[in-house]
Structure formats: structure tokens, C-alpha cells
């Protein structure tokens, strides 16, 4: 009996259920960005919104880059394009489709790894697949909840490179390899380095075992040309922006800015099977070359934080459950092989299901890592979403917005949903003013923006400048760190806060502004928006209370 296909359907359903459905309250479309837990999730979502609105990604949406209208679209954007196209095709809101694509990419990663292992041994592949449930264990889940979506998509294509290499003997396989390398370059450039590195490592393996030949060189060269053509423009921008702002320097880093980091010990008891798998795999290296080399290679990549790769080492760890699945399956298979061959297929199926039940915590067992159940609407709520929508649709495109204190505004990419150039008060200055019982006109402020690539713009043909390097507060006001709020066109106040006194202070300022001629243009239960009718004038009186 062929149990493979029903098994794949069950695993696919389980991954979909545990990964995205539970987080999303078992719905596909929502009234507002749902399950967005950190600033970077909004960074991805608002960039996609900007690309959709423009109809292309020639330029970065201006509200992501301090209001500059000429910044070249610099971010690797495959996930954004896929989200947008799925949005247009399905009619589901873009904030849902782009998030869905991140989950689908991860699930597809598991299945591509499955077919890669299956090329060598179907039963090991079936035993390997359930480990992917740990994509949704607490530390891997961070990748989705905190917005590492582009990296996840990139890693899908990285695994496709592993698959292509395992199928390199096929006629025209170089075309597939070239497309996957190109797609990787346009998805997340740092993984491109890992993809190219893997091919290099595999070539050394071939050399070592005297299997290296001209055919391999020819195929890889053609793949390189295809991917070079596909990614030339993106890599050119990357080298003139990201690479200048973030040059490589050696450092040992064990910190991901407070983000929990996946460690090998997080596999707990499963490490026993994985170790058996590593030893068996190593002994059978010639037979299982690609999955073994890929697994060990990605283990090594996960530790490049010790040679200066920092965050770029921690992101691949998010998919360790996929990269190491071969070792896990191999470890289990070493035990299953003891069962008479007549019962082996059903044993593999049963063991796979049992592993799924264990890892999804339906059968709790101590010291086994499990799926992390989370179901939350996240940082956004219907009231803020309504306010952001109003701002994006009812204010002039050139309007400048000033956000007073809001509980969720420290995750500042959320503010880009206003689709306008914006600044916000620095909470510490706001708290100090409240403690001093004063109403001020000038606040220490920040203009949130994406600084990762230096805001590249085209100076002339093949000549790219960086606003971040060339400009300052004297040449462009939005580089300032302290603002007279009266220069802004609209003020946004939260009427509700976890600390009521902060919301009360917001309302006090808003009332003072109303007395000075500002006009209430929007209000719901949580947010109030004022239009400044005296831009550059006296929109508020400084006083004590």
C-alpha cells in the first residue's frame, strides 16, 4: 500500500494548522494586519503596500525613507511581489497574503527537503519530514512573528539549490540551478553567499572523491551566468548600498538585539537521534552526499556569528529543523531497520505520525521540543488600523505627520501604515515633560526609517549616492532629532494607553492644540487626529499645568 501521498497530505495540513491557522484564529483574511508581533513585520507589509500602490518597485515608498522621493527600491523583493500577486489573484488583503507566503515558503522548504532526501531513500524522507513541526517551536516561530520573511523565502530557494545539485546529472538541470540562485539573490542576498558557498563545498567533496568533472564545471558555470543575468541589477544596488553601510568586520556576536536565538541544545532529546543520523550519514557520505553535506554545512553557517556574520548566522538557524531533518530521519531509520521489511512501510508511517503527535504536544513528553502555540491579533487593532487607513486616504501625499505617545509605536514600522512622512515623540522626553507638568512645543523626536541600505538614489548612470551619508539636519529637516511640532500638518494622539496618565497627557495636549486653531478631523475610541491649521505658526502655547 502506498502511504506516501496521504502522509504528505496529513503533514501539509498539520504544518498549515500549527503554523499559520492557529496564529490567525483559523481564518485566512482579517480586518487588519493580524498576528504582526514586531516592527519588522510591518516593515515587510508596508513595503509591499508601497510597491502595490506604485505598481512597481522602481522606488522605495517615500514613507519608509524619511520622505525622500528618489530612493531606489533596494530591498530584495520576491516575497513582496509574491504577496502582491497572490493578493490580486485571490482578493485577500495584502497584509494577509504576504504573511501567508512566508508560512507557505517555510512549509515548501520542508517539502523540498523531503523530496531531496526521498531521492536517496523514501522511508528516511518520511521519517524526516515531521521534524519540520519545530519550525513552529518557540525560537523558530520568531522568524515569522518578528518579520524575517525575506530570509525564510531566501532559504526556500537555498534548499532548492541543494535539490538542484542533487539532480545535477539531469539534462538542463543547470537552468533550474540558475533560476534558483537568481531567485535567492532577489529574495535575500545574504543567503546567496551561503548558496554559492554550498556549491563550492560540494565541488570540493567531488574533488575529494574523484567525481569532479568538466560536466559539473560547465553546468555550474551556465547556472552562474543565468543567475548573474537575473540578479545583476539587484546585486549592483546591494554593493552600492547595503554593503557600504554594513561592511564586513570581524566580531564575535552572541546577541540578536534581544531576539531569542536557536541553539542546538533546543532540540533536547531529539539530539540523540540526530547524532546517530550524523554518524550514520557520515559513514554513508558517498551515498547520501547532498543531504549530509547540506545539513553539516548549515550547521556551520549557523555558527558564523563567531566570524562576524552576526544576525546573518542566526537567521539560518530558524530553519535548522528543516536542514537537520535528514539526520533526525536517518537516526530513526537506524532503529526502524531492525523491524522486518514486511512491516517497515507501515512502521515508518506509524512512527512519522507518532513523531508528529509528540512534536505538536498532543502527547506531551518531557525534554522533547514542541510546537509553540500562539494565537494573538498582535500589535495592530481595528482602531489604529482605521486611523492609519484614514491618514493614507484623506491627507495630502506631501503631508507630514507627528505621532504623540502610543503604546505600540516603539515598533515604529507600524507608523508606515499612515503612508505619509512621519515623526514621533521620543517617549523619554514625553515622560519628562509630563513629570515636569509642562506642555511643550519642541520635543526630542525621531523620524523612523529604514537605515539598512543608506537610502540609495541614482546620481547618474551607474552612479549611486546615499542620502544617509550625504545629508544631515541642515540639508534636510527630517534628519533632525528635535522638532517644533508646529511644523507638522497632522497630529496623532492615542486616547487609550496601558498607563492612563499617558493617554490623559496626550488629550491635554490635543485640547490645547484645539484651542489654538487645530481642527479635529478624525476620531474613534482609541485615536484622535488633528489637522494643524497654523503650520509653522503658534499651534500650541507652552505652559505648565
Partner 1 sequence: MRKEAFDIMKKELKYIGLLFLVFLVIFRVVFFKENLVVLFRLVLSLFWLFALPGYFMMLYWMEKIDFTERFIIGIVLAAGLIGIVSYYLGLAGLNLKYHAAILPLVLILAGIVINLKK
Cβ distance to partner 1 smaller for residue 18 or 276? 18
Interaction with partner 1 in 268-287: which residues (CB under 8 A)?
Answer: none
> Nearest Cα to 221, choosing from 194, 203, 239?
203
Least spacing, CB of residue 361 vs partner 1, in Å: 17
Please name the residue ranges forming H helices in 167-269. 173-187, 189-208, 214-240, 242-245
Q: Which three cell numbers stand for residue 85?
A: 500577486
Query: Does 27 sit near partner 1 (CB under 8 A)?
Result: yes
What's the burial of 198, exposed, middle or buried (CB within 10 Å: 0-12/13-18/19+)? Answer: buried
Among residues 69, 85, 221, 481, the one that binds partner 1 under rule CB under 8 A: 85
Task: Answer yes or no: are the C-beta atoms of 191 and 231 closer than 8 Å.
Answer: no
CA distances from 199 to 159, 165, 297, 322 (A): 12, 8, 11, 19
Binding mask 135-174 for partner 1 (x = CB under 8 A): ---------------------xx--x--x---x--xxx--
Among residues 119, 138, 259, 386, the one that binds partner 1 under rule CB under 8 A: 119
**DSSP state for residue 72 in the 8-state scheme:** B
Which range binds partner 1 by CB under 8 A, 10-18, 298-306, 313-321, 346-354? 10-18
Among residues 114, 320, 488, 505, the one that binds partner 1 under rule CB under 8 A: 114
Kindly determine how many residues on this chain lie close enough to bind partner 1 according to the rule CB under 8 A.
61
Least spacing, CB of residue 13 vs partner 1, in Å: 4
**Alpha carbon distance 275, 9 (integer Å):** 29
Neighbours of 7 (CB within 10 A): 18
Least spacing, CB of residue 23 vs partner 1, in Å: 12
Which range binds partner 1 by CB under 8 A, 60-68, 76-84, 385-393, 468-476? 76-84
Binding mask 29-68 for partner 1 (x = CB under 8 A): x---------------------xx--xxxx----------
Among residues 5, 210, 474, 498, the one that binds partner 1 under rule CB under 8 A: 5
Among residues 38, 65, 71, 78, the one that binds partner 1 under rule CB under 8 A: 78
What's the burial of 514, exposed, middle or buried (CB within 10 Å: 0-12/13-18/19+)? Answer: middle
Least spacing, CB of residue 377 vs partner 1, in Å: 14
Q: Which three cell numbers stand for residue 543?
A: 505652559
> Nearest Cα to 414, choosing from 100, 40, 11, 9?
40
Which range binds partner 1 by CB under 8 A, 109-117, 253-261, 441-449, 529-537? 109-117
Q: Under 8 Å CB-to-CB from 394, ≥6 apart: which residues? A: 521, 522
Query: Does 186 sit near partner 1 (CB under 8 A)?
Result: yes
Q: 527: helix, coil or strand?
A: strand
Query: Does 519 sit near partner 1 (CB under 8 A)?
Result: no
CA distances from 349 to 117, 124, 125, 270, 321 (A): 16, 11, 11, 19, 20
Among residues 69, 90, 482, 533, the one that binds partner 1 under rule CB under 8 A: 90
Q: 355: helix, coil or strand?
A: helix
Least spacing, CB of residue 60 vs partner 1, in Å: 13
Cβ distance to partner 1 smaller for residue 86 or 318? 86
CA distances from 246 to 44, 242, 250, 316, 323 (A): 20, 6, 12, 19, 27
Among residues 111, 141, 149, 198, the one that binds partner 1 under rule CB under 8 A: 111
Q: Which three cell numbers stand for residue 265?
A: 541544545
Which range binds partner 1 by CB under 8 A, 12-20, 260-268, 305-313, 404-412? 12-20
Query: Does 21 sit near partner 1 (CB under 8 A)?
Result: yes
Angle at 12 between CA 10 and CA 17, to 5 degrees: 95
Query: Does 23 sit near partner 1 (CB under 8 A)?
Result: no
Task: Answer yes or no: are the C-beta atoms of 57 and 80 closer than 8 Å.
Answer: yes
Neighbours of 451 (CB within 10 A): 11
Cβ distance to partner 1 smaller for residue 216 or 402? 216
Cβ distance to partner 1 smaller for residue 134 or 158? 158
Query: Does 79 sit near partner 1 (CB under 8 A)?
Result: yes
Which range binds partner 1 by CB under 8 A, 108-116, 201-209, 270-278, 308-316? 108-116
Cβ distance to partner 1 smaller for residue 38 or 108? 108
Query: Does 179 sit near partner 1 (CB under 8 A)?
Result: yes
Least spacing, CB of residue 437 vs partner 1, in Å: 49
Among residues 176, 235, 466, 478, the one that binds partner 1 under rule CB under 8 A: 176
Cβ distance to partner 1 smaller for residue 160 or 503? 160
Least spacing, CB of residue 376 vs partner 1, in Å: 16
For cell 519530514, what's the residue?
129
Length of the chain: 545
Query: Regarding beta strands 400-403 and 490-494, do their DSSP bridges make them parallel or antiparallel, or are they unpaired?
Result: parallel
**Alpha carbon distance 470, 479 (integer Å):** 11
Cβ distance to partner 1 smaller for residue 209 or 236? 236
**Alpha carbon distance 67, 90 (integer Å):** 32
> Nearest Cα to 440, choosing from 316, 543, 530?
543
**Binding residues vs partner 1 (CB under 8 A):** 4-5, 8-9, 12-13, 16-17, 21, 24-29, 51-52, 55-58, 77-79, 81-82, 84-86, 88-92, 100, 104-105, 108, 111-112, 114-115, 118-119, 156-157, 160, 163, 167, 170-172, 176, 179-180, 182-183, 186-187, 230, 233
Amino acid at each position: 500500500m502506498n502511504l506516501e501521498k496521504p502522509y504528505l497530505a496529513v503533514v501539509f495540513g498539520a504544518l498549515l494548522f500549527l503554523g499559520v491557522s492557529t496564529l490567525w484564529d483559523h481564518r485566512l483574511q482579517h480586518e487588519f494586519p493580524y498576528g504582526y508581533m514586531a516592527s519588522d513585520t510591518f516593515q515587510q507589509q508596508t513595503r509591499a503596500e508601497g510597491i502595490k500602490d506604485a505598481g512597481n518597485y522602481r522606488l522605495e515608498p517615500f514613507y519608509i525613507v524619511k520622505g525622500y522621493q528618489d530612493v531606489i527600491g533596494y530591498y530584495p523583493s520576491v516575497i513582496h511581489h509574491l504577496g502582491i500577486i497572490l493578493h490580486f489573484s485571490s482578493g485577500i488583503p495584502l497584509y494577509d497574503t504576504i504573511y501567508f507566503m512566508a508560512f507557505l515558503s517555510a512549509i515548501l522548504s520542508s517539502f523540498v527537503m523531503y523530496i531531496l532526501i526521498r531521492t536517496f531513500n523514501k522511508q528516511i524522507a518520511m521519517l524526516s519530514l515531521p521534524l519540520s513541526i519545530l519550525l513552529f517551536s518557540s525560537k523558530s516561530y520568531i522568524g515569522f512573528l518578528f518579520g524575517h520573511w525575506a530570509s525564510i523565502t531566501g532559504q526556500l530557494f537555498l534548499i532548492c539549490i541543494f535539490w538542484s545539485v542533487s539532480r545535477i546529472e539531469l539534462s538542463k538541470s543547470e537552468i533550474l540551478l540558475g533560476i534558483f540562485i537568481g531567485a535567492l539573490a532577489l529574495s535575500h542576498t545574504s543567503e546567496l553567499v551561503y548558496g554559492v558557498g554550498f556549491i563550492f563545498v560540494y565541488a570540493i567533496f567531488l574533488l575529494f572523491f574523484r567525481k569532479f568533472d568538466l560536466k559539473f564545471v560547465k553546468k555550474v558555470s551556465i547556472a552562474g551566468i543565468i543567475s548573474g543575468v537575473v540578479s545583476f541589477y539587484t546585486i549592483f544596488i546591494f554593493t552600492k548600498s547595503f554593503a557600504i553601510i554594513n561592511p564586513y568586520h570581524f566580531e564575535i556576536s552572541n546577541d540578536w538585539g534581544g531576539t531569542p536565538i536557536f541553539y542546538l541544545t533546543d532540540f533536547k532529546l531529539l539530539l540523540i537521534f540526530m547524532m546517530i543520523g550524523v554518524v550514520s550519514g557520515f559513514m554513508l557520505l558517498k551515498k547520501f552526499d547532498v543531504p549530509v553535506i547540506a545539513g553539516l554545512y548549515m550547521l556551520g553557517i549557523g555558527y558564523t556569528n563567531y566570524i562576524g556574520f552576526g544576525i546573518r548566522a542566526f537567521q539560518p538557524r530558524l530553519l535548522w529543523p528543516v536542514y537537520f531533518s535528514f539526520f533526525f530521519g536517518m537516526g530513526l531509520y537506524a532503529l526502524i531497520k531492525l523491524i522486518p521489511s514486511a512491516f517497515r512501510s507501515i512502521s515508518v508511517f506509524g512512527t512519522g505520525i507518532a513523531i508528529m503527535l509528540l512534536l505538536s504536544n498532543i502527547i506531551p513528553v518531557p525534554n522533547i521540543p514542541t510546537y509553540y502555540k500562539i494565537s494573538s491579533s498582535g500589535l495592530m487593532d481595528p482602531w489604529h488600523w482605521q486611523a492609519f487607513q484614514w491618514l493614507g486616504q484623506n491627507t495630502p501625499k506631501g503631508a507630514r505627520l507627528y505621532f504623540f505617545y502610543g503604546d505600540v509605536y516603539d515598533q515604529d514600522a507600524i507608523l508606515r501604515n499612515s503612508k505619509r512622512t512621519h515623526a514621533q515623540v521620543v517617549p523619554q522626553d514625553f515622560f519628562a515633560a509630563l513629570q515636569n507638568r509642562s506642555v511643550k512645543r519642541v520635543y526630542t523626536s525621531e523620524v523612523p526609517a529604514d537605515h539598512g541600505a543608506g537610502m540609495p538614489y541614482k546620481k547618474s548612470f551607474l552612479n549611486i549616492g546615499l542620502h544617509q551619508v550625504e545629508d544631515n539636519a541642515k540639508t534636510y529637516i527630517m534628519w533632525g532629532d528635535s522638532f517644533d511640532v508646529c511644523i507638522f500638518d497632522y497630529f496623532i494622539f492615542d486616547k487609550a494607553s496601558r498607563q492612563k496618565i499617558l493617554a490623559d497627557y496626550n488629550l491635554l495636549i490635543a485640547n490645547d492644540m484645539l484651542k489654538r486653531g487645530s481642527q479635529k478631523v478624525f476620531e474613534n475610541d482609541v485615536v484622535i487626529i488633528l489637522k494643524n491649521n497654523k503650520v509653522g505658526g503658534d499651534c500650541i502655547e507652552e505652559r505648565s499645568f
